[in-house]
Amino acid sequence: MRPVFRIVRESLILGFAEMSAVYTWRTWTFGWLVRLLCQAAFYALLGRYVGDETTMRYVLVGNIVVLACLESTIVVISLAGERAMGTLPLLAITPSGHLPVYLGRGLQWTVTGLASSLTAWLVLPPLLGVPLPWPRAAYAIPVIVLILASSYGYGCALAGVALRLRGVEWLVLNFAYGVVMTFGGVNVPVDTWPGPLRVAVEVLPVVHGLQAIRGVLDGASTGHVMGLICAEALVGAGWYAVAALSTERLVSVGRRDGGLDHA
Amino acid sequence: MSGPHAALRVVWRAVLLQIALSRRRPEHALILLIAPMQTTTMLALALTEDREDVVANAVLAPGLIGLWVAALDYAGRVVTEDRWAGRFSPMIATPVPLGLVVAGRVATVVLVGAAAFAESWLAAALAFGRVLTVADPVPFALAITATCLATVGTATLISAVFVMSRAHEVLQNSLGYPFYILGGILVPVAALPGWLHPFSRVVFLSWSAELLRDTVRGDASDWPRSVAAVLGLGAAAMAAGLWLTRRYVDRARREGTVGHA
């Protein structure tokens, strides 16, 4: 396990060094974080405009939790950036194997994602006049961490597309996140959608975890909540498996045809 | 270079340049991917709450977001990308004002953003069976035109600010949703807290959103005032953008920093 921890540590150092080229802690807080808070508030205000405070709280909770997914999936951009810089082959020949190194390239986004969603969780509900039921709301925090993890796997899997097709990373990122935001039960319940779509969204991250969080807030039974948490973990594991297979294939084909540096 | 004909030729050449560049950048069509998803999100929420009266808001908002994204994410980066790609030096060596080139290129990107209106309308019709009709078509067309022009003006200003700022990526990532709220593009300004109203009034989106919704509902009796406000704010932004761009180019020439500007 020690090499894995070292890779995680080095990935985080590299990731934050990269971030510091764009953000200082001030510009991150008053620029990026405020933007994320405004995003959640934007949809929450729509919730109150079309419905009542219950609708607003439903929409706000969904939009706060989905921030974790938004930031985690930015790994798509980090991995595509390695290809653009020509450093993908260098990562592939690391002694520890390419898989943990590749999958660690966007870990900093999980840390910032946790910071953003937790800040929003604490600040926005009282600010918008729909406070959460504390201390029950605290039990949702480990579930947000799980959602971060499953969304990160989802992002890593979809990064496989961005690594194979040039110049599509922003499209992939926005599509990945947009599908979750639109159909994942963030603003309206999943059963709003027609049957086939309802089945399809079962494999998206956030969907089950968010239902678990809503269950926690509404005082649902522990068994019901645990079932949803297990489903979220299973979905996340599935996406990590897809990411591992996709990366493995990318590297093996790249080694064979020498096309990894311009894959 | 002199005369309006020559200026228009410069703008047209800039349009052609941007088309050539955008064809190689699939992300310039990003808004066309996002708009249907946004329409679906907003419309689903409105209809789940049985608010048929909010359908117009939900269909028009993604179009306005499309324009703002075009201005902020792509048009705003025009000069910054030229610097990275090494096009900046030859461009300012030509005997035409850089501001006109920027305006022409920005207009091209904004037109792509405006296509989000059509896409959003189509998504509402096909996915939800809600065909949005316009009660006052002439003021509506004028409102769309004024909004596109104001977006071009604002994008020219954003482009100038980005090129002069060391934190342009921060600004680019941060100026979306705060302006969607301030611009009242989905939830009307009147429903926002009172202390936000004065700030909203200097954002052209707030006038555009209100005007577009009113023309759709046939309730736009005061439309000339709103069109004038949109055009006035857009013209002010354009003037500021052109002035800043000229100032930046003059400074780069004077200090010999064009090559590594």
Whether residue B261 is contained in a domain is answered as: no
Angle between helices A169-183 and B30-48 (to 10 degrees): 10
Encode pLDDT of B162-195 as tens digits. 877 777 777 777 888 889 998 888 888 888 888 8
Q: For residue A12, is pLDDT > 80?
A: yes
Name every chain A residue with its beta carbon within 8 A of the beta carbon of B45: 43, 46-47, 50, 59, 187-188
pLDDT of residue A154: 95
Contact, A212 vs A185, CB < 8 A?
no
**pLDDT at residue A18 above 90?**
no
Across the range B50-67, mean pLDDT stands at 89
Chain A residues close to B167, C-beta within 8 Å: 27, 31
pLDDT surpasses 50 at B261:
no
State whether residue B127 sits within 8 Å of chain A by CB.
Answer: no
pLDDT tens figures, B72-98: 877 777 777 777 777 778 877 888 877
* DSSP notation for A42-94: HHHHHHHHHS-HHHHHHHHHHHHHHHHHHHHTTHHHHHHHHHHHT-HHHHHT-
pLDDT at A69 over 60: yes
**Is the model's pLDDT at A263 over the cut of 60?**
no
Number of domains, chain B: 1
DSSP summary character for residue B24: T
What per-residue confidence (pLDDT) applies to B260? 58
Q: Prior bond to B4 cis, omega within 30?
A: no
Give the mean pLDDT of A48-54: 90
Q: Of the ranges A140-154, B29-43, B50-64, B145-159, which is most confident?
A: A140-154
Say if B7 falls within a structural domain. Answer: yes
Which residues 216-255 in chain B show a CB within 8 A of chain A? none
Averaged over B5-21, what is the pLDDT? 85
Span A84-96, mean pLDDT?
78
Q: Which two tokens stand for residue B233?
A: 């704010």
Asked if B54's CB is within 8 angstroms of A179's CB, the reply is: no
What percentage of chain B has pLDDT greater than the value 70? 98
ipTM of the prediction: 0.85
- Given the structure tokens 């990275």, which residue do they identify? B84
Tokens of B127: 């996915």
Contacts of A198 (CB under 8 A, 6+ apart): A190, A191
**Residue A129 to residue A159: CA distance in whole angstroms:** 38
Q: Cβ contacts (< 8 Å) between A27 and chain B: which residues?
A: 167, 170
Number of domains in chain A: 1
Q: How far is A31 from chain B (nearest CA, A)?
A: 5
Q: What pLDDT is recorded for position B2? A: 60
- A175-187 residue pLDDT tens: 999 999 999 999 9
| pLDDT value at residue B204 | 92
- Whether the CB-CB separation of B151 and B71 falls below 8 Å is answered with yes
**SS3 letters across A164-221:** HCCCCHHHHHHHHHHHHHHHCCCCCCHHHCCHHHHHHHHHCCCHHHHHHHHHHHHCCC
Instruction: State the pLDDT at residue B253.
Output: 80
Asked whether the predicted pLDDT for residue B10 surpasses 90, the reply is no
Q: What is the residue range of A69's domain? A: 2-262
The pLDDT, as a whole number, for residue A64 is 96
Q: How far is A1 from chain B (nearest CA, A)?
A: 37
Mean pLDDT of chain A: 89
Angle between helix axes B98-128 and B30-48 (nearest 10 degrees) is: 40
Q: Determine the average pLDDT of the residues in A83-97.
A: 78
Q: What is the pLDDT of residues A206-239, one digit of tens each?
A: 999 999 999 999 988 999 999 999 999 999 999 9
pLDDT of residue A184: 92
For residue A7, pLDDT beyond 50: yes
- Of the segments A88-102, A145-159, B107-121, B158-172, which one has the largest average pLDDT value? A145-159
Distance between CA atoms of B103 and B76, rounded to whole angstroms?
A: 10
A188 reaches B (C-beta below 8 A): yes
Task: Return the structure tokens found at A58.
Answer: 């439903």
Distances (CA, A) of B72 to A214, B112, B151, B171: 35, 13, 10, 9
Residue B198, in any domain of the structure = yes
Residues 159-178 of B with CB under 8 A from A: 167, 169-171, 173-178
Average pLDDT for chain B? 85
DSSP state at residue B95? S
Phi, psi of A129 (to 5 degrees): 80, 20
The yes-or-no verdict on residue B156 having pLDDT over 90 is: no
Determine the structural domain holding residue B240 and report its residue range. Answer: 3-255
Q: Can you tell me the distance from the alpha carbon of B174 to that of B165, in angstroms, rounded to the nearest whole number? A: 14
Q: What is the mean pLDDT of residues B232-248?
A: 90
Q: Are B159 and B75 in contact (CB under 8 A)?
A: yes
- Residue to mutate among B30, B38, B45, with most A CBs inside 10 A, is B45
For the cut 70, the answer to whether the pLDDT of residue A58 exceeds it is: yes
Whether the per-residue pLDDT at B259 is higher than 70: the answer is: no
B260 belongs to a structural domain: no
Two tokens, residue A140 = 């949702």
Give the residue from B61, B192, B179, B63 showing the smallest Cα distance to A35: B179
Alpha helices in B70-136 (DSSP H): 78-85, 88-93, 98-128
Residue A141 is predicted with a pLDDT of 94
How far is A58 from A130, CA to CA, in rounded Å?
A: 10
Task: Tell whether B92 is covered by a domain.
Answer: yes
Please state, for a pLDDT cut of 70, what percent of chain A lies above it: 98
CB of A39 within 8 Å of a chain B CB? The answer is yes
